[in-house]
Amino acid sequence: MDLKPGVRLRSPVCEVEAIVIKAPPTSIDLRCGGHPMLAIDATPPAASTAEPGFDGGSALGKRYTDGEGTLEVLCTKPGPSSLSVGDKLLQIKEAKPLPSSD
């Protein structure tokens, strides 16, 4: 799937929704619950469930990134399924520490 910043996506297995903040120039296999993400206006298939290992949940307002920092997505609607690129789970992006005010 070719992603661009601003693209909104939804999970095919639960209510998780996300918006792409940063995307690599190449095609990427973004998934939720172990299944490929869908366009925000697409209807999810009936009776789909998250794959084992991809059911850790996605938190509202958290940014998720791959290990290389080439992909960043913002969770806009939480749910029980986890975001991943292929079989590799995305990690919550940590906030940068502010400089001291000494």
The 10s digit of each residue's pLDDT in 48-74 is: 889 999 999 999 999 999 988 899 999
> 12: which residues sit within 8 A by CB, 6+ positions away?
32, 33, 35, 36, 37, 38, 44, 45, 48
* Token pair belonging to 100: 């001291």
Q: How many CB atoms lie within 10 A of CB 86?
A: 12
**Residue 24: inside a domain, yes or no?**
yes
Q: Which spans in 5-96 are helix H?
A: none
Residue 72 lies in a domain: yes
pLDDT bin (cut points 50, 70, 90) of residue 102 is low
Identify the band that residue 97 occupies on the pLDDT scale cut at 50, 70 and 90.
Answer: confident
As for how many domains the chain has, the answer is: 1
Dihedral angle sign, alpha carbons of residues 37, 73, 88, 53 = negative
* Residue-level pLDDT at 32: 95
Instruction: Tell me the pTM.
Output: 0.89
pLDDT category at 82 given cuts 50, 70, 90 is very high
Estimate to the nearest angstrom the gap between the alpha carbon of 17 and the chain centroid: 8
Q: Is position 2 within any domain? A: no
Query: Looking at the predicted structure, is the pLDDT value of residue 47 above 90?
Result: no
Residue 33 covered by a domain: yes
